[in-house]
C-alpha cells in the first residue's frame, strides 16, 4: 500500500486530508511542518508527498527541493489555499508533479497522487 505524507501547518486540513486518503485506501501520515516531515522522512521515506505551499518558518516552496533530494525522490503534489500564477510555475519548475488549489476535490487529489506514483515508479532513483 503506497505511503502518502501530508505536510500542512493547518491542523484541521491536515487531519481531514489524512482521513480522506486513508478512506480511499492509502496509507497516510501527516506532519505540521517541514522540519517535522524531514525528521520522520529520515526513518521512512514516503511514496508521495502532499505539500502545502504556505507554512511558517519553512515554506512549501523551500521544502520542495529538499524532498526531491531525498533518496527515493518522492513525487510532490503541491496544494495551496492562496493560488497565484507565479506559484504554479515555480512549483512545477522546482519538480512538483501537480499543483492543486484548495478546497480539494477528492477525485482530483487522488488522480494526482495516482499519476505521481505511476510516474515515480518508472523514473530514476537516486542511489
Residues forming contacts to another protein in the complex (CB under 8 A) are: 9-10, 12-13, 15-17, 19-20, 22-25, 54-59, 62, 81-82, 84, 101-106
Shortest gap between Cβ of 10 and another protein (angstroms)? 5
Provide the 3-class DSSP secondary structure of residue 87: helix
CB of 28 to another protein, least distance (A): 11
Name every residue whose Cβ is closer than 8 Å to that of residue 120 and which is 6 or more positions away in sequence.
47, 48, 73, 74, 75, 97
Instruction: Say how far apart CA 9 and CA 32 lie, in whole Å.
Output: 4
For the bound state, the minimum distance from the C-beta of residue 23 to another protein, rounded and expressed in Å, comes to 4
Closer CB to another protein, 20 or 70, in the complex: 20
Q: Among residues 62 and 69, whose Cβ is nearest to another protein?
A: 62
> 42: buried, middle or exposed (CB in 10 Å: 19+, 13-18, 0-12)?
exposed
Amino acid at each position: 500500500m503506497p505511503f502518502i505524507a501530508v505536510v500542512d501547518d493547518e491542523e484541521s486540513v491536515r487531519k481531514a486530508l489524512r482521513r480522506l486518503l486513508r478512506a480511499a485506501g492509502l496509507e497516510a501520515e501527516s506532519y505540521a511542518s517541514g522540519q517535522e516531515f524531514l525528521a520522520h522522512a529520515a526513518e521512512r521515506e514516503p511514496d508521495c508527498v502532499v505539500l502545502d505551499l504556505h507554512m511558517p518558518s519553512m515554506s512549501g516552496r523551500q521544502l520542495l527541493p529538499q524532498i526531491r533530494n531525498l533518496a527515493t525522490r518522492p513525487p510532490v503534489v503541491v496544494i495551496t489555499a492562496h493560488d497565484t500564477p507565479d506559484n504554479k510555475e515555480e512549483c512545477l519548475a522546482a519538480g512538483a508533479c501537480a499543483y492543486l488549489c484548495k478546497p480539494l476535490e477528492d477525485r482530483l487529489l487522488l488522480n494526482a497522487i495516482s499519476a505521481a506514483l505511476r510516474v515515480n515508479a518508472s523514473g530514476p532513483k537516486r542511489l
